[in-house]
Amino acid sequence: MSFEKINFKNAQGYELSGRLELPADRLPHNYAVFAHCFTCSKNFSATKNISRALTNAGFGVLRFDFTGLGDSSGDFADTNFSGNVDDLLAAVDYLKTSYKAPTLLIGHSLGGAAVIYASAKASSIKAVATIGAPSDTKHVRHLFGDQIEAITKNGEAVVQLSGRPFKIKEQFLKDLNEQEVTATLKELRKPILIAHSPQDKTVGIAHAEKLYQAAMHPKSFISLDGADHLLMDKADSIYIGEVIASWASRYVEQVNDSSFKTENQVAASLDRDAAFTTQIVAGRHYFTADEPESAGGNDFGPTPYELLSSSLAACTVMTIQMYAKRKQWNIENVECHVNYDKQHAFDCENCELETAKIDTFTREIKLTGDLDEKQIKRILQIADKCPVHKTLHSENQVITKLIN
């Protein structure tokens, strides 16, 4: 994964701070804009996890701070829901001008309502996804509790939201009352995915039902069973990010005229602040490598040695099946299980030394089919002839060059 810190101005002239995350080859097949939840920021954990899941699938994702939040300029007290929609449209225009017009909008909580409004005004948007979104922006009023009377009486009041103080002005309440999410959704006529948790205590599941009923086909619903409103469990946010990426692939054109080339069509990218979470592109395929949490990673993907072991396992079963088909032997299925470790060599003279240990791949093969003992013996011999097995046993070299 690669990223760029960017800044762009909204209609009021305020400078908004954003982060554009790109696939490892920096050439996404589509761009998306993510709208974070009310009073959250672009660096909220769920926002990052969802964005990175999309990046893994080849999307470029712009996440940014709304006016007066995070690193964006302006006063949050002077903002309202309509202003959030305008900020989203400014983000869409920025991508259109500086990169490529986005085709996907994703919104979390109140950001979900905002993307419905923004997508109706942005012609480039081909698909919309909401997560825990309210069906009526007036719903947000309950977050202000007993301060609503003070806001109405005094024109403003300080409200505690997510443990932090925010100044809310009366114009914010009036703007919320003017918004009609479901009415806008009925006229949208764009594919929409509505994701919601039945256990959401902030925005109840009934809101998802109203959104779904208002939306026109094609429309989809995903239940985030067991998740909380803010998706604090990273497994929940990664899951919905992957689901959105897969769902959106049906509605956006995934043509990547990538001129990105390496000898083996493989590249890896790691940001300074990403621990060990590494984005990989191999040909047209995107995936993630990582280290377990015990080693300081996020456990978002297999370790480098697990990937290496996977290569041996995959090559083994491919080679066996190819040989069996050529011989017209009946192997319905072949499994290869591989473990990697460092072990002492069988003939080591100083086994107590760490340097006496060698890289060891323990391979176990399971064959399902009608084979006699002679055939099985031959299959095991063929396993040792798979190309990756030969490579691991060969004298190898790694030539390193610096790319300017």
Residue 275 has a pLDDT of: 86
Beta bridge partners of 369: 331
What is the rounded distance in angstroms from the CA atom of residue 13 to the CA atom of residue 16?
9
Find out whether the peptide bond into 28 is cis, omega within 30 degrees of 0: no
What 3-state DSSP class applies to 63? strand
Sequence-distant (6+) residues with CB within 8 A of 364 are 336, 337, 338
Beta bridge partners of 331: 369
Residue 259 has a pLDDT of: 47
Tokens of 213: 């009923």
pTM to 2 decimal places:
0.74
What is the rounded distance in angstroms from the CA atom of residue 248 to the CA atom of residue 59?
10
What is the rounded distance in angstroms from the CA atom of residue 136 to the CA atom of residue 174?
13
Residue 343 has a pLDDT of: 74
What is the rounded distance in angstroms from the CA atom of residue 231 to the CA atom of residue 237?
6
The CB density around residue 354, as the number of other CB atoms within 10 Å, is 7
Most distant CA pair in the chain: distance in Å?
90
Taking Cα atoms as reference points, which of 303, 310, 282 lies closest to residue 58? 282
Residue 153 has a pLDDT of: 87
pLDDT by position in tens, the chain (length 404): 567 899 999 999 999 999 999 886 677 999 999 999 887 888 899 999 999 899 988 899 999 999 999 999 999 888 999 999 999 999 999 999 999 999 999 999 999 999 999 999 999 999 999 999 999 988 888 778 788 889 888 998 888 876 678 888 889 888 988 888 999 999 999 999 999 999 999 999 999 999 999 999 999 999 999 999 999 999 999 999 999 999 999 999 876 555 445 566 788 888 787 789 888 878 777 788 999 989 998 888 899 999 999 999 999 999 999 999 999 999 999 999 999 998 755 555 555 555 557 889 999 999 999 999 999 999 999 999 999 999 998 988 988 888 87
* Structural domains of the chain sorted by starting position, each given as residue range(s) with its CATH number in brackets: 2-136+179-248 (3.40.50.1820), 141-172 (no CATH), 304-393 (3.30.300.20)
CB 338 within 8 A of CB 361: yes
Residue 162 has a pLDDT of: 63
Taking Cα atoms as reference points, which of 7, 1, 245, 206 lies closest to residue 103? 245
